Structure formats: C-alpha cells, structure tokens
C-alpha cells in the first residue's frame, strides 16, 4: 500500500449552519417550533373596518411569537431543568401568540383588494374555505356545516384566528383581557372563542378516548439537526425522517423539488387548519367493548388495533399483544403487509403509512399537528360537565404548505378511503375508524379475523382555514403596503 498524503479536510460548518430556520424571526411560532402549552385559546375574529383592523394589527404585531423566540425559550427551559435535576423551573412561564388570516381577512387588510383576490385564487382549497370543501371531506350528517359552531355560511365571517398559548392559566386570563381591550379599541369582533386545555391527571398528554397524543411529528430539514449516524433522521430521534421544509413553510424546497414563492408575500408563511372535532367518548367505549366481545379480544387490544398504538402510546407494530408502555416512533410496517399487528385501517397507519417513502409519495402528505383537547374528561358518574351531555373533543390545529395535498388529501384519500393503503385481499380493510366515515373494518390478525361494523365517533363542529404570514408581511399589511 503506497503512502497517501493527508487530504486537507474542509472546515466544519459553523454551528447552526445546517438549521438556519431554527433562528427565523420571520416564521411565526407554533409552525415549526411547537407552542406546546397546556392552556390555549383560539380567538376567531372579524374585522369591522379595514383601517381600524390595520391599527389593531400594528399594535398586536410585537407580541406575535417567532420561531427563534420559541426555540431560545425551550433551550433555556431544558438547560435550567437539567441543572435542577429534571425539575421544571417554576419561574419560567411563557405566553405566546400566533396569527392566521383567512381569505376574507387577508382581503380586508390588503391595500389592493382586487390583486389580493386574484392572488388567493392560486390556493383554491384555501379560497374555497372548509364549508366549500365539506362534501369532499365527508363533513355530512352529524358533521354537516349546519351543525358547526363557527365557519359555516350564514354564520359571522371569520377574518383572523389568534392563538394564545400559556403555561400559567392566570397569565392567560390577563392576556385575554388585554386582547379584548385592544380589539374593542379597533372594532375587531370576537366571533367565537375556542378553548383548549390539556386534560387533568391521569389523562394528561392523552386525548379524550384515552390515547396518548402528540407523539409523532415530521422532522424538518433546515430546522432539525440530522442524526450523525443516520442523517435521513432527526438527531436522536431515529424513525423521524427529515422532510423538506417547503412542506410546512412556503418559499422553501418541498418534496416535489419545487418551491412556492408566488406571490412573494407567501414566503415564510404557512397554512393553518383549525377544526373543532367533537368526540363521543361514551359511544366509542361502548362500541369498542361490544365489538371486542364479538371477536373475543380484550377491549384494550381492539382499541389499540383501531388506533395503531396502545393507550400508553406504545405502537402495536412493536408490541401487538400487550401494552409495554414504551412510547417510540422508531418503527414501520414493512414486516406486516397484511396488517396482523397494525391493521391497514388503523388511524396512525392510514395517516402515515411509513412505507418506503416513494410508494405513496408520503412526504407530500404530512402535517404538523398542534392540537389540544377541549372539555372535561368523560366521567358519567362525575359532576357537571363530565357526562354525555357535555361537549368534549379535540381542537385539531395543524400547519402545512398546501391544504389540498396535505390535510385534505390525508382526510379524503387516505382516512376516508376503505381501500387505502391498497392490498391483495378482495374485501377492502375499511376506513379510518377514528376520523373516517361509518363503515366496516376487517380485522386480519391470526387470533381475530373478521369484518366489524364501526361508526364514527368524531364529528366536525367548526372549521376554518387561515394563512399565517411572515412577521414582515404582517407589518406590510398593517402599514397598507400590500
């Protein structure tokens, strides 16, 4: 072997060079960097007068959180927590705001309304509003817009969605009072106030059916660091594949290799989908129990098969028989094409099939979920607000760069379609039993192989699409420069 002189090594990239979006002061908070707060309110607002609304926006603007602000705070929180032997620093409380504008709101704020209307027509689902898309999305019957509390025709127009998220409920209340005062001074009407509250113990971190939520999210290139050993995944989070930033924020390369930057003001913005999804917990529990008896499975096990995770969050893909309590994202379904461990209809398999990524172009259909429950936990023997007659559910809140290809595709082409993902069996395996329509799901586990009639216990009770512009774009709107 001949001696090779050492090659000069390139300088290592400066810290943060591979994650420039982590320091963005343009991209609003909660899009890439989650607010992740226990107490949230979604204020649905209507502008009575465009000039007054611009004045409202310029006063509000300094309070709108940026990605950098959230990330800096989270870093400080983790550092202080580590120093205090994993105890949360009691004096570190955050309160953050995010602002989305509907097509009507963007048009009202714009100084050139005709041009704005033309530009919005490039985003047809957004311009159509959820009411316009209801039939395609399966929002009929119990989910019909006539049952909605907001967002339906005949109800007050919604121009803006203001998300207020806080650690401390008292601080949240104080801020809401200030925001009411600000609104009143500028003729901005509150059309609806949607509450969001993390559930009390023992359900903290879980949604109303009892399953742990908020586990799996897409990792984002240029925002999350790649893992040194497996650079397709996020550092330390094997299983969370890095997705192009353009799938969540406009103006960056997306999974199709293109970037949406026309009109220029969409850059660094993201679309928001907010839905009030009511959950009939008593109905779900009763039907799971009944169908479990029919197939001879424990209700906990049938529930896990319907969702694809046990209530603890442990995936059935790794533990099909009992709940080991290990919450992880490091799994796929490659060893289970027929769905013995995780049925093909299971909620998390429908909404993220985890196959080799090209098969369904999965990276084109991912969403950044930022939901939070509303209402008291279901406890029929309990007090006021805990029974059948009280409303409870999930404030489904999410961000994406393309409503049609991401949220609507996932709901319509994946969750609602009894035949997705395609397989070899003659009988389709059924729709998503959590968010899909009423239908038959076919269990194909060796111990239980049987079609089961299932119903939908999640109903849409309000919906709005908004766009969360970059901070500099909000400033332009406030200054009548757009």
> Where along the sequence are the contacts to ligand N7H (CB under 6 A)?
207, 209, 211, 213-216, 277, 279, 307, 309, 347-348, 351-352, 367, 393-394, 396, 407, 410-411, 415, 434-435, 458
CB of 401 to ligand N7H, least distance (A): 15
Q: What angle do CA 277, 200, 190 make, to 5 degrees?
A: 45
Pick between residue 250 and residue 367 the one whose CB is nearest to ligand N7H: 367
CB of 410 to ligand N7H, least distance (A): 5
Pick between residue 50 and residue 218 the one whose CB is nearest to ligand N7H: 218
Pick between residue 429 and residue 471 the one whose CB is nearest to ligand N7H: 429
CB of 149 to ligand N7H, least distance (A): 15
Pick between residue 211 and residue 265 the one whose CB is nearest to ligand N7H: 211
CB of 336 to ligand N7H, least distance (A): 14
CB of 393 to ligand N7H, least distance (A): 6
CB of 415 to ligand N7H, least distance (A): 6
Q: Which two tokens stand for residue 417?
A: 């379609």
What is the 3-class SS of the chain, one letter each residue?
CCCCCCCCCCCCCCCCCCCHHHHCCCCECCCCCCCCCCEEEEEEEEECCHHHHHHHHHHHHHHECEHHHHHHHHHHHHHHHHHCCCCCCCCCCCEEEEEEECHHHHHHHCCCHHHHHHHHCCCHHHHHHHHHHHHHHCCCHHHCHHHCCCCCCCCCCCCEEEEEEECCHHHHHHHHHHHHHHHHHCCEEEEEEEEEECCCCCCCCECCCCCECCCCCCEECCCCCECCCCCCEECCEEEEEEECHHHCCCCCCCCCCCCCCCCHHHCCCEEEEEEEEEECHHHHHHHHHHHHHHHCCCHHHHHHHHHCECCCCCECCCCCCCCCCCCCCCCCCCCCCCCCCCCCCCHHHHHCCCCCCCCCCHHHHCCEECCEEECCCCCCCCCCCCCCCCCCEEEEEEEECCCHHHHHHHHHHHHCCCCCCCCCCCCCCCCCCCCCCCEEEEEEECCEEEEEEECCCEEEEEEEEEEECCHHHHHHHHCCCC
CB of 151 to ligand N7H, least distance (A): 15
Pick between residue 429 and residue 461 the one whose CB is nearest to ligand N7H: 461
CB of 301 to ligand N7H, least distance (A): 15
Pick between residue 53 and residue 307 the one whose CB is nearest to ligand N7H: 307
CB of 68 to ligand N7H, least distance (A): 25
User: Which residue's CB atom is positioned nearest to ligand N7H?
Assistant: 216
Pick between residue 143 and residue 216 the one whose CB is nearest to ligand N7H: 216
Pick between residue 190 and residue 323 the one whose CB is nearest to ligand N7H: 323
Pick between residue 400 and residue 473 the one whose CB is nearest to ligand N7H: 400
């Amino acid at each position: 072997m001949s001696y090779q002189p050492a090659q000069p090594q390139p300088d290592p990239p400066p810290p943060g060079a591979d994650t420039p979006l982590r320091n963005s002061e343009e991209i609003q908070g909660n899009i890439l960097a989650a607010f992740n707060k226990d107490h949230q309110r979604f204020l649905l607002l209507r502008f009575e007068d465009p000039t007054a609304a611009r004045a409202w926006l310029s006063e509000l603007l300094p309070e709108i959180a940026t990605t950098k602000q959230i990330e800096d705070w989270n870093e400080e929180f983790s550092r202080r927590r580590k120093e205090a032997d994993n105890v949360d620093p009691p004096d570190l409380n955050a309160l953050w705001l995010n602002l989305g504008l509907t097509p009507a709101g963007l048009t009202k704020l714009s100084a050139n309304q005709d041009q704005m209307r033309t530009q919005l027509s490039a985003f047809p689902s957004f311009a159509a509003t959820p009411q316009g898309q209801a039939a395609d999305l399966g929002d009929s019957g119990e989910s019909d817009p006539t049952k909605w509390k907001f967002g339906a025709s005949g109800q007050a127009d919604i121009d803006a969605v203001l998300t207020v998220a806080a650690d401390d409920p008292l601080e949240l209340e104080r801020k809401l009072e200030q925001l009411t005062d600000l609104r009143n001074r500028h003729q901005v009407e509150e059309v609806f106030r949607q509450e969001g509250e993390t559930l009390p113990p023992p359900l903290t971190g879980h949604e109303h059916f009892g399953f742990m939520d908020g586990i799996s999210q897409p990792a984002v290139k240029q925002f999350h660091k790649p893992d040194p050993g497996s650079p397709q995944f996020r550092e330390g989070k094997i299983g969370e594949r890095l997705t192009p930033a353009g799938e969540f924020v406009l103006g960056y390369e997306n999974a199709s290799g293109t970037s949406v930057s026309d009109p220029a003001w969409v850059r660094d913005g993201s679309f928001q989908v907010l839905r009030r999804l009511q959950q009939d917990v008593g109905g779900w529990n009763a039907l799971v129990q009944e169908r479990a008896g029919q197939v001879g499975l424990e209700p906990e096990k049938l529930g896990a098969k319907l969702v694809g995770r046990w209530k603890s969050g442990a995936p059935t893909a790794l533990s099909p028989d009992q709940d080991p309590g290990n919450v992880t994202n490091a799994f796929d379904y490659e060893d289970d094409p027929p769905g013995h461990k995780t049925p093909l209809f299971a909620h998390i398999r429908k909404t993220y099939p985890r196959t080799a990524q090209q098969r369904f172009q999965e990276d084109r259909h991912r969403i950044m979920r930022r939901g939070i429950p509303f209402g008291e936990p279901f406890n029929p023997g309990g007090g006021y607000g805990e029974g059948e007659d009280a409303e409870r559910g999930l404030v489904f809140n999410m961000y994406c760069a393309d409503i049609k290809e991401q949220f609507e595709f996932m709901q319509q082409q994946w969750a609602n379609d009894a035949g997705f993902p395609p397989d070899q069996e003659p009988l389709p395996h059924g729709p998503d039993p959590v968010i899909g329509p009423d239908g038959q799901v076919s269990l194909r586990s060796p111990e239980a192989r049987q079609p089961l009639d299932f119903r939908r216990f999640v109903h849409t009770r309000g919906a709005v699409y908004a766009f969360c512009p970059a901070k500099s774009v909000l400033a332009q709107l406030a200054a009548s420069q757009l």
